[in-house]
Structure 1
Amino acid sequence: MFHYHYMPVGDNFERARPMLTLHQVPLVEKVFDRPVSHYAHRADVVRLQVLEEYGGIYLDLDLISVKPVDHLLDREFIMAQEGVDGSVGLCNAMIMARPHSRFVQRWFATYALFDSAEWNYHSVILPGKLAPFFRNEITVLNHTAFFWPLWDSHGLRTLYLEKSYDFSANLGTHIWESAANKNLMKDVSEKVIMEIDNSLYCQIRPLLLDGKPDPRPTSCRILSHTERADKLIGHWSLREPTSIQRKETNPLPAIDDSGNDLNGLIRNGKYVGDSIYLSGDTSYIFLTMPTETSARSMTVSWWMKTSSKSKDQMAMVIQTDNGRIHVSTYIQENGSLSFQVKTVRRNDQWEWAQIEDLVLRPSPNAVDQAYHHYALVINDPKSSNLGEPPIALYMDGYVASSSIHWTFPESIGSIVRGVWFGSIEPLNDRYQSPWDNSVNLQAYYREIHIWEKGLSVATIKDMVASTNMTLAATAAVSTKKKNKSNAKSNATTTQAFTNEPSQLDQELEQEALEEDEELLWGANDQLDD
């Protein structure tokens, strides 16, 4: 039965309408002569009136059932905790009741003192206060039954960005639409749910499949660690996919081809050549990590080009529960762009503040508007190779900034809750607020690799050299094809084509190799210590 005053409109409602019994209710303007003006408070009153008269199971429109509740149907009245141990109260987004149940009558009577200025006092806090005194009238379910993950930044990130929660303890889940609709749920559609692999969409995707096989059957598995022997967590090339379906959504999927099935998402990005362009306007790449990935020992490698001239914009961010380690823009005295590594955590006022003694000095290397390779390497001193610094930022294979005195701050938590590129989680922890574009970086990204270990200096240099040789070879092939095409168009007779490299090709390749060797081993490594 669907209770309403104003009839909803829209395609989704029309699709659901044949399954509904419609029941129009009067518009609630007063309760016990107390004025009620907000639509949410009016709905609070209506649900209690309807449950008192009819009984049944009430669910908010943004609460999704994931398991049967038959084992609870013999109870008189049921609610579930909001927050661990009911720290917020008992949430009225799910209520099960028999007609004329004692607790609903007792609860409704308190509306004689209703105050619209107190947002959730009567709907959530007050039933939580009443329940311990009337245990024989109400069954209280654990917070994981329906209201976990929560509506805070940790919970919303778990639902909409990470692929880390399997709902095994849930009977249902509240998707917190009012907190998520401005940013995290923006442009959500059936296509988005089918293509984006986060905790929530993986849970509700089978409802859309309706018994059909999942076209990507391993996409929703949750890993605790990488399954690869080389400790590679993921590789996201960010090349434009051939499948049209994978290019028609916002967010776009950031496809991982490592075998670990760690597809991320790209919000407000677009494919440009073999890269993703982020405009800096509510745009970012977010990559989910295995659930036990430690920030104590990891490597994040990426190629990027940017023409930014602003400081403190986010190139890359390693997110933990209570902190971030990030690479952000820095403007040198001469006005040129470089990068700096900072570590931030929540202070005693629950605000974000940088840990001053863990700030690395800015890289002296000026950044132009070409592609450059960057890698942030964090080494656990207990397992790292002798002589490797605990943290180092590399640019094009050279140490741009590092410190031998840097120690991992225990206060930020060690489990990685995702890696951002081009932006950062809202610093005020309010995903429903307008996105803070002041920290967003306008940039092109490609070829992201993340390892569950700190790579050595030699490995970083070898990786850059190998990539440079690959790019040089690709450019040579492209030039050869172009010259061949021009020759064909100008030729008056058909000539035979051979796959053997020409002498010119060999000379170009040798020159490229020599240049790479010269760049690779140049003595301009930068160390703090």
Structure 2
Amino acid sequence: MPSTAQRLPMYRSSGARMGHVRGTHRRWKFRYLFFIVAGCWLLRQWIRSIATLSEDTAAPPLDTQFKELAIARTARIDSPTDTVIPKIVHFVYGLRGPEPTLDLVHYLAIKSAHDVLSPEKIIFHYHYMPVGEMFEKAKSMLTLRPVPLVTEVFGQPVSHYAHQADVVRLTALQQFGGIYLDLDLISLQPIDHLLQHEFVMAQEGIGGSVGLCNAMVMARPNARFLQRWYATYRSFDSSDWNYHSVVLPGKLAPHFPNEITVLNYTAFFWPLWDGPGLRTLYLEKSYDFANNFGTHIWESAANKHLMKGITEDDIMNIDNSLFCQMRRFLLDGQPDPRPDACRILPHTTRSDQLVGHWQAPPIKEGEANFLPLEDDSGNNVNGIARHVTHHCPDKAKRAVHVNGEDSYLFLSVPTETSIDRFTVSWWMQTSSDKHGGTAMVIQTEHAKLYVRTEKLDNALAHNGTVPISLGLSTLIRDDWIWRTQENDQVQASPFPINMDLRFHHYTLVIDHFNRSTPPIILYMDGHVIASNNRWEWPPEAGSIVHGVWFGSSEPEKSNYQDPWDTDLSLEACYDDIRIWERSLSLDEIQKLAQERPVESIVDTSSSLSSS
């Protein structure tokens, strides 16, 4: 059998002395060790450099059938005027009209870029000088640069302020280089390792399904891809809203791979602007942004129903995925007074499997735009109330009133909570006789389970009010279309819920594993009012619960940016809501029905919620 030395590469047997062989062996051993260490270091650097690049391995066929490709290929291209991307941040604002104001989120975009990216300077490009408290607060961080109002590009008219801003950012980057950010993009992690590249953009949508979003662009001065992209504005058409800003750079990028670095969709533009994405940002506490350098908060899509009018108190006290990240820029280095509030749990930490217990909070006179619903279970799964008041008929109780329009309660749950075994308990009062009103909804990734109002016999109407009861229905989302699962309908019972002014107790129990009871049962005041032995949750709907709604739910006929769909909203009052990651027994349900919620938040150590 050959010796160890003889098995080494380039070993020469020449009858040399044994000492020489040992010396050769040691030299090669050290050389191998050096090569291994150096190789590992180089591999680590390579992995680090591409860790945030697009993860797509199977690239789609190149699209060559678009006219802008010829423009980009034939454009006169000069060399970049720097070897790295300069640490200059750019914002563009004040193109819409005189005396614009900065909102709180705009200030936080500037503050986060200042604190996280540590730029040499932040250039604020504007036509109309902003005014107001937030601008004055941000001004010390900014280098102000007035710009002319863009009215055309290569002879093509540019009239909308958003398209004008698209042109301004490209010309600013050509001149100065740096990092352009939209004023609704929050910086979360340093990006110094990306400055070595010539030009950087990030995917919008999984695999860049939408394109490359221009809300974050990094460039050396006069970057080659930037020149080509700008040249394609010769074909600009304002009627094609995001074609030149998002779609087109995504189509051009594969043709010039040596001129652009593409980051994957999680780098800056995830969660997305669609319903699930906005719910993840603004309602759920489920996403930790571990793979994000920043996050675009989609102001245009979210403003009307999810973020308009938010205050510093809202950000500090409402625990959703986004506000938990933004909070540190308000604290400005100070300790968080609620350090555990943003903890994301996979499951309840309690032995009784109680997920959360929410009671009606105090509300000042008038309507609360945003209101935190505090969970006193110890799991810190605080909820959100929107547009609620205390206008409930039972003056002895403290309850929240939802108006039957754009008001709702939303309760987030731990991220691996399953609908397979799940219980929701709540107290509710309604005098509405609306058919199809939303009493409660359990939301999964692709479906909703509704507890809805259904009209009973009109002949039983009293004082003009038609009696209603509660039934169950399941809706499945297929892309943008919601369709009802006819086989999973559970018809309402003949027990009216709206003919008195009393609060009634309701419990929905789901258990796919207990064969001795129906898989779904709805109780009212401890008695069964709806059940179905053949009910099944559709596998394609996803079993992970993303939240529970009361009074209304996420729009189905549109997105959050459109007028709120009130067809399914219910005017009602709610209090004392509890959720479990298990099915409750009949004895437990009847015990809950005998308890009346009290005005103050009680110590639940002696009640069912913490038994």
2:509 counterpart of 1:377? yes
Cα distance in structure 2, aligned partners of 1:168 and 1:247: 39
2:389 counterpart of 1:265? no
Q: Deviations over 1:109-135 (max 9, x none)?
A: 101111111111111111111111111
Cα distance in structure 2, aligned partners of 1:215 and 1:463: 33
- Structure 2 counterpart of 1:419, one-letter code: V
- Structure 2 counterpart of 1:331, one-letter code: K
Look up the match of 2:495.
Answer: 365
Look up the match of 2:335.
Answer: 213
Look up the match of 1:317.
Answer: 441
Cα distance in structure 1, aligned partners of 2:358 and 2:331: 27
| Cα pair distance change 1:249/1:441, threshold 3 Å | closer
Cα distance in structure 2, aligned partners of 1:448 and 1:462: 15
Q: Secondary structure at the match of 1:184?
A: helix
User: Over the residues paired in the alignment, what is the CA RMSD in angstroms?
Assistant: 1.8
Out of 439, 456, 465, the residue aligned to residue 332 of structure 1 is 456
Contact map agreement 2:492 2:530 (CA 8 A) in 1: yes
Identity of aligned residues (%): 57
Cα distance in structure 2, aligned partners of 1:239 and 1:208: 24
Q: Deviations over 1:181-213 (max 9, x none)?
A: 111002201111011000000001011011111
Superposition deviation, residue 429 in structure 1: 4.0
Contact map agreement 2:201 2:261 (CA 8 A) in 1: yes
Superposition deviation, residue 411 in structure 1: 2.1
Cα distance in structure 2, aligned partners of 1:314 and 1:249: 20
- Structure 1 counterpart of 2:419, one-letter code: A
Contact map agreement 1:152 1:429 (CA 8 A) in 2: no
Look up the match of 2:549.
Answer: 420
Q: Deviations over 1:130-155 (max 9, x none)?
A: 11111111111111110000100111
Look up the match of 1:492.
Answer: none
Look up the match of 1:115.
Answer: 237
Counterparts of 1:389-468 in structure 2, within 5 Å, are: 389-465=518-594, 467=595
Superposition deviation, residue 448 in structure 1: 0.4
Contact map agreement 2:511 2:583 (CA 8 A) in 1: yes
- Structure 2 counterpart of 1:360, one-letter code: V
Out of 241, 244, 252, the residue aligned to residue 371 of structure 2 is 252
- Structure 1 counterpart of 2:160, one-letter code: H
- Structure 1 counterpart of 2:585, one-letter code: S
Q: Who wins on radius of gyration, i.e. which is larger? A: 2
Cα distance in structure 2, aligned partners of 1:168 and 1:92: 22
Out of 275, 278, 284, the residue aligned to residue 153 of structure 1 is 275
Superposition deviation, residue 4 in structure 1: 1.1
What TM-score, normalized to structure 1?
0.85
- Structure 2 counterpart of 1:270, one-letter code: T
Cα distance in structure 2, aligned partners of 1:267 and 1:184: 9
Q: Deviations over 1:217-252 (max 9, x none)?
A: 1000000111111110000021438xx8x9996311
Aligned length: 463
Superposition deviation, residue 370 in structure 1: 0.8
Contact map agreement 1:192 1:250 (CA 8 A) in 2: no
Look up the match of 2:314.
Answer: 192
Q: Deviations over 1:244-286 (max 9, x none)?
A: 8x99963111010000000001101124642111122311100
Cα distance in structure 1, aligned partners of 2:366 and 2:436: 31
Out of 174, 185, 189, the residue aligned to residue 63 of structure 1 is 185
Contact map agreement 1:192 1:249 (CA 8 A) in 2: no
Contact map agreement 2:367 2:388 (CA 8 A) in 1: no
Contact map agreement 1:422 1:442 (CA 8 A) in 2: yes
Look up the match of 1:172.
Answer: 294
Cα distance in structure 2, aligned partners of 1:289 and 1:131: 40
Cα distance in structure 1, aligned partners of 2:511 and 2:433: 31
Look up the match of 2:463.
Answer: none
Look up the match of 1:41.
Answer: 163
Q: Secondary structure at the match of 1:81?
A: strand
Superposition deviation, residue 393 in structure 1: 0.6
- Structure 1 counterpart of 2:482, one-letter code: W
Cα distance in structure 2, aligned partners of 1:142 and 1:247: 45
- Structure 2 counterpart of 1:107, one-letter code: W
Look up the match of 2:152.
Answer: 30
Cα distance in structure 1, aligned partners of 2:208 and 2:315: 30
- Structure 2 counterpart of 1:355, one-letter code: Q
| Cα pair distance change 1:411/1:154, threshold 3 Å | same
Q: Deviations over 1:278-304 (max 9, x none)?
A: 122311100001111111210000000
Q: Secondary structure at the match of 2:307?
A: coil
Look up the match of 1:485.
Answer: none
Cα distance in structure 2, aligned partners of 1:239 and 1:157: 23
| Cα pair distance change 1:194/1:5, threshold 3 Å | same
Q: Deviations over 1:387-442 (max 9, x none)?
A: 21100110000010101111111121111111000001011241011112232111
Q: Deviations over 1:301-355 (max 9, x none)?
A: 00000000110010000011111001111110133111111111124x7321211
Out of 134, 138, 154, the residue aligned to residue 16 of structure 1 is 138
- Structure 2 counterpart of 1:376, one-letter code: L
2:474 counterpart of 1:350? no
Q: Secondary structure at the match of 1:366?
A: coil
- Structure 2 counterpart of 1:365, one-letter code: F
Look up the match of 2:418.
Answer: 294
Q: Deviations over 1:51-106 (max 9, x none)?
A: 01110110000011111111111111110010111111100000111111101001
Q: Secondary structure at the match of 2:323?
A: helix
- Structure 1 counterpart of 2:385, one-letter code: I
- Structure 1 counterpart of 2:559, one-letter code: R
Contact map agreement 1:164 1:291 (CA 8 A) in 2: yes
Between 111-120 and 362-371, report the one with greater CA deviation: 362-371
Look up the match of 2:405.
Answer: 281
Look up the match of 1:204.
Answer: 326
Cα distance in structure 2, aligned partners of 1:122 and 1:350: 25
Cα distance in structure 2, aligned partners of 1:439 and 1:463: 28
Look up the match of 1:511.
Answer: none
Look up the match of 1:97.
Answer: 219
Look up the match of 1:494.
Answer: none
Cα distance in structure 2, aligned partners of 1:74 and 1:180: 34
Cα distance in structure 2, aligned partners of 1:388 and 1:464: 20
Counterparts of 1:121-140 in structure 2, within 5 Å, are: 121-140=243-262
Q: Secondary structure at the match of 1:437?
A: coil
Look up the match of 1:522.
Answer: none
Q: Deviations over 1:156-198 (max 9, x none)?
A: 0000000000011000000000101111002201111011000
Superposition deviation, residue 464 in structure 1: 1.8
Cα distance in structure 2, aligned partners of 1:57 and 1:111: 21
Cα distance in structure 1, aligned partners of 2:523 and 2:125: 60
- Structure 1 counterpart of 2:555, one-letter code: P
Q: Structure 2: give runs of 5+ residues left out of the alignment.
A: 1-122, 461-465, 601-611
Counterparts of 1:217-236 in structure 2, within 5 Å, are: 217-236=339-358
Between 9-18 and 56-65, report the one with greater CA deviation: 9-18
Contact map agreement 2:286 2:414 (CA 8 A) in 1: yes
